[in-house]
Chain A
Amino acid sequence: MSRLTKLISLAALLVAPSMATAAEVNVVSWGGAYTESQKLGYGDPYQEMSGVQVNWIDYSGGLSEIKAQVESGAITWDIIDVYARDTIIGCDEGLFVEFDFDNDFPAGVNGMKASDDFFAPMPSDCAVGNILYSWNYAYNTDNINFDGNYPDSMEDFFNPDKYPGVRSIYSSAMSNLEFALVADGVPASEVYDYMEDNGIDRALDKLTDLCTNPKGGCIFWSAGAQPPEQLVSGEAIMATGWNGRHFNAIVNEGSPMKMVWDGQILDYEYFVLVKGGPNQEEAMKALQYFTSSEGLAGSAKHIAYAPFRISSLDVIMADEPWFYSEQAGAVEIMPHMPTAPANTENYVLMNPEWYADNNTEINDAWEAWKANL
């Protein structure tokens, strides 16, 4: 054997094992502090445990990209973090794998079978629960002089005469319609009953009052990291947003912000498995770990979103202060959860069915409203 062939075979031997473990799973999520919490909470631990590389990809929601991948036959995504509405639409369109829930997902550490351990039934057969999060609003305590009289209700957000300044709101209808109706006096628990009955127009009128008031005005955010940025930069005096992002800005970045929980919208977030993804089998295994009791509890170590499993809360409570970051040290996380009793005195529970069914009308009305503002 010549020296060269020896070298080549040696190289081949060295390369072979690393190639065998080169399995990858591509997980798509919302970026920023949230993806970071998922990566630290269960992505990295799973990678270490299984040797499967977990890649995190950012997106800003919606099904268009995966739909385009499926249509062109070049699917690169395995797991997607989606709104409930999109699990329903995508499942109906056959984009995602349908689960056999109790067989596909492990029981909780408390011994409860998966379907009982998750807080709520899944909105579609393709969804597996991930977190409960909240849409609420926050303000900058430094930038604006409220004379010690800080906003504490949803009415205050919609009252530019009392608290003048620009508001930053989500760029889609979701959350804005609910907030507007609550501010207009609709009981939080009945918001969606009103929607059927001229509620969209009523909500849009309320938003028009806010956005066209010379003392108010609206700007729109589309990525979760934007609201805290806009509050800190002074571009907006109040901003709706996701509680975990506000929490991150307050705790980790020391931003002088405060959240208002009145009229918050509790919403669920889900994982789906792409049908025909590049690594469907590995992805399924990864997903099982991500959504296990420890997995979901893991992400709550890094962000103030409540895990979807009851047993994950047990894991957290047994070990408070659970949250940890370099900047803030250890923090008790339960009081900051969107589900904490103090935060749920007056809340709306998101109705994804309503959005999935009426998607077109809601969006047409919303986009026309926005363009004619």
Chain B
Amino acid sequence: MIKSDMLKPKHQRLVLLGVAVVALLGAALLAVWALRHQASYFYVPSDIVSHPPESDRAVRLGGMVVKGSMHNAPDGVTVRFLVSDGKAQVPVRFAGIRPALFVEGSGVVAEGHLVAGTFVADNLLAKHDEKYVPREMKDMGAARKAVAQTQ
């Protein structure tokens, strides 16, 4: 009785499809795991320091702009700054128009080449973080703290 109940086509389909979905998810997870380096949009400074790319290879470097490291050159367009991931730092040079959200202490993605230890960027992208803070709160200087408390 139980056996014939188990073999009902409806239950058979349920079990088969359940197995198929689990197998599919497993395959997708494995693929994603294999892609974990290739699918990244940029290298972090410690990647660049441990495996420096050849100077003719275009790469992206992402990290935080170190506070106090930004220096504007006298020509008015060139800027130098340090990008850090907390473990390593890479000096960056860029000449051109900077995105509005590009500030010290904030995230940045630079596209360019590594030339003799300095990353020469052709393009800068500002990376916004997940924090949303009203302008008025920031002026009070308590914004980051208030957000941190809600976490």
Decide if A and B are genuine partners: no
Chain A contacts to B: CB under 8 angstroms: none
Chain B contacts to A: CB under 8 angstroms: none
